[in-house]
Amino acid sequence: MNDSFWSDYFDELRSSPNSWFSWSARLKRAADILWISICPSLSKIPQKDLIIKDFYNIELMPIYLMLTGLSFELLIKAMDIQRNKSKVKKELLNTHGVTSIVSEFIPLSIEERELLNRLELHVVWGGRYPIPKKKENFIPVEVRKKGGVFPGFSVKDKNAIEKLYTKLYNLVGKQ
């Protein structure tokens, strides 16, 4: 194969909202499969009936959140490509920080924005490394109205994730 074929193919994939959209769906599906392993162990926490396997499953939570965050990131990038009818902007391609632009497509509640911010932290470091690059990013920040800490996760967030993903997914599918 010649270099121009691969260059053209790269440009085609980069400018196709469908390639970003379908990759988002794959990441979401992988996260959901991981959730199936995690969920039964989470339900045992209140009863303090955990066994070693449960701890191993619960330790996968940051990975679940990273995959979920990546699925949102690619969905938002697909929305940007659809809207601009061109390849994803270079600055958007080279960053995980896409939460700030989603409001250009659809209004978000404070809770939805906070959820995306927490997922974004798991993409940047929380699901990949034991610590962030900067010490100040490791210090928990109180989450408004939830009493939790940032980038914490509540089982209630799973429903919010599903609702927001469906909302954005359907928006991409309609355009």
- Lowest-pLDDT choice from 32-36, 113-117, 119-123, 124-128: 124-128
What is the token pair recorded at 45?
A: 């926490």
- Secondary structure E strands in the chain: 141-142, 149-150
What does the domain layout of the chain look like in residue ranges? 3-24+62-174
The tokens describing 49, both together, are 């009936």
Question: What is the model's pLDDT at position 149?
Answer: 47
pLDDT tens per residue, range 42-60: 777 766 776 767 677 788 8
The alpha carbon dihedral of 147, 165, 18, 79 has a sign of negative
Residue 142, pLDDT > 60, answer no
pLDDT digits (tens, 9 = 90+) for 24-46: 999 999 999 999 988 887 777 76
Mean pLDDT of the chain: 81
The predicted pLDDT at position 73 comes to 94
**150 near 85, Cβ under 8 Å?**
no
Note whether 152 and 122 are within 8 A (CB): no
Chain mean position to CA 143 = 18
Q: Which residue has the higher pLDDT, 106 or 72?
A: 72
pLDDT (0 to 100) of residue 175: 56
Please give the average per-residue pLDDT across 98-127, as a whole number: 86
CA distance 170 to 167: 5
DSSP state of 141: E
Residues of the chain by 3-state class (helix, strand, coil), percent to 5 = 70, 0, 30
Residue 143 has pLDDT above 70, yes or no: no
Q: What is the pTM of this model?
A: 0.83
